[in-house]
Structure 1
Amino acid sequence: MMTPSLPQNTTIVESGDPDARTALVLHGGGGPQTVAPIAGHLAATMHVLTPTHPGWNGTSRPDDIASVAQLATAYLESLLERGERDVVVVGSSIGGWIALEMAIQSAADDRYADLIGAVIDIDGVGAVVEGEPGADFFALDARQLAEAAWHNAELGYRDPTTFTDEQRAIQQSNGETMAAIAGRGISDATLLKRLDAITVPTLVVFGASDRIVTPAYGQAVARAMPGAEFAVIADAGHLPHLEAPGATWAVIDPFVIRIR
C-alpha cells in the first residue's frame, strides 16, 4: 500500500521567522480562515505553516486520503520531506484530531520519531468518550450550529440565505469532505485507547461553552495522555481563539515557552 501524500498543489501558507521553531496549524471543518488568528499570533515567535486540508475550499483530495489517519500520515510525510523536526502541531476541532493522530503515528514509526515536539489540541474532536457524546454535527442547521459552537451564538451565526452560490458550494463541498474523512459521526472508536502512546508535551484547550464536544469530554481526552495539561477558556465555545483570544493566548503562550 502506498503511503498517503499531500497533493502537489496543496496550499501551505508560511509566516513568521523561517529560522525559528516550526508550528503546524491545522484547521477544522470551517476551513483555514478559522485558525488565521492562531497562525498570526504564533508567527511573532515561530515559523508557522498553515495548510488547507485536501478537499477543503474547492481543493482536490486524492483517493488515498480517505480518513483522518491517512491525512495525518500525509502531513507527517510532508514534514519529513521539508526536513522539519521538533514541530509544534496545533489543531482546532478536526485539526486537533489530526494532530493527535500525527503524534500517535510518530511515536510508532522511527521514520517520524523526531518530527513532533509538542501538541496543542484546541476543542479537538475524534475520540469516543462514554457519557459525553459529541453533537450530531451534520444534523444541525446554521442556527443550531452557532448555538452549539459559540458562547455568543449571535457572533457565530451566518444566515445561509445571504450566501453567494460560490459560498454555498464551498460549504457543501467542505461538509462532504469532512464526512468522507472523519465519518458521519466525526469519531474513531479506537482513538481514546491509543492516546497513551503520546509522550510529547501536550496541551488540551477547551472553551467552557463548547457544546460540539464538552469540556468534560476534553478533560477525558487529556487524562488519556501521560502528563497532558488541560485548560478551560471562559466565555468561549468551540473556537476560543476567535471568541476569547486574549484568554486563549494566556494559556497557550506559557506552554510554548515551557517546551522550548
Structure 2
Amino acid sequence: MTSTLPRTFCEAFQQTAARQAGLVALRTVGGTRSLLWSEYADRVRALAQGLTALGVRRGDTVALMLRNRPEFHLADTAVLHLGAIPFSLYNTSSPQQVAHLLTDSRARLVITEECFLPVLNPYVSALLVPDPDALTAFGARHGLDGKPGELCRHPAVLAAIETGLAAANSVLSRPEQVRAHTVITDTWQPGSDYVTHTRKTRRTPIHQHYATQIEAMYTHHTEHTATANAGTGTGTR
C-alpha cells in the first residue's frame, strides 16, 4: 500500500494527527502540560472556526505576541489552516516597534496575552515608583513629614514628579513620550515580586497586580482626548 504524500503543510498536519492521534504532540518544559495529536487537531479546528467568525480570511495577516507556550503553536497552525499568514511580534519590542509592525503588515488580528496589552496600546503609559530614599531626602529638604508611601501623595512631590516627567518628555520623540502615568505608593525592592535582583521589572506580575491602574490610565487618556477633540470640532474613531 502506497501513501499519498501531502501537498501542503496543513495536509501534512492532518495526516500526522490522524496517524499519531494517541501520541504526545506538544509538551511544556518539565512536562507539566501536554497535548496529544488528536487534541492538537481538535483545538486547531475550534480556533480556526473562531478566527473565521472574527473575520480572518485567506491572505490576511495575523500577529502573534505570545510566550513560549502550547497556545502559540495552536494559534499559528489554526491561522495557516485558513490560508492566512501568521507572524510573531518579539515580546521585548517597544510599543513603537509593535505599532509599526502592525501597521506595516496590515494585521487583521492580534493574538496575545493579557500581560502584553500595555505594549499593544497606542501610546506610552507609565507606572512611576519613586525611590524611597529620594522621597525621604526630598521631604527633608522641603520640610515634609511622613513615610515614603505618604509622601508619594503630597502635592509638592507630585508637582516635582510632573516637572521631571515633562523634562524627560522634552527630549523624547512624540511616539516615545509618556502620555499617561500613575504614581505607585508601594516600594519595589530588588528581588521582590516586581523587580529582579538585577533591577529588571517583572512584567507579568506587575500587570496582574496593577491591572486596574493600567487600564484606568488608558481609559482616562481616551476620554480626555475625545473631550478635547469635541471642543475643537474634530473627531476620533
TM-score of the aligned structures, taking structure 1 as reference length? 0.28
TM-score of the aligned structures, taking structure 2 as reference length? 0.30
| Bigger RCO of structures 1 and 2 (CA < 8 A, at least 6 apart) | 1
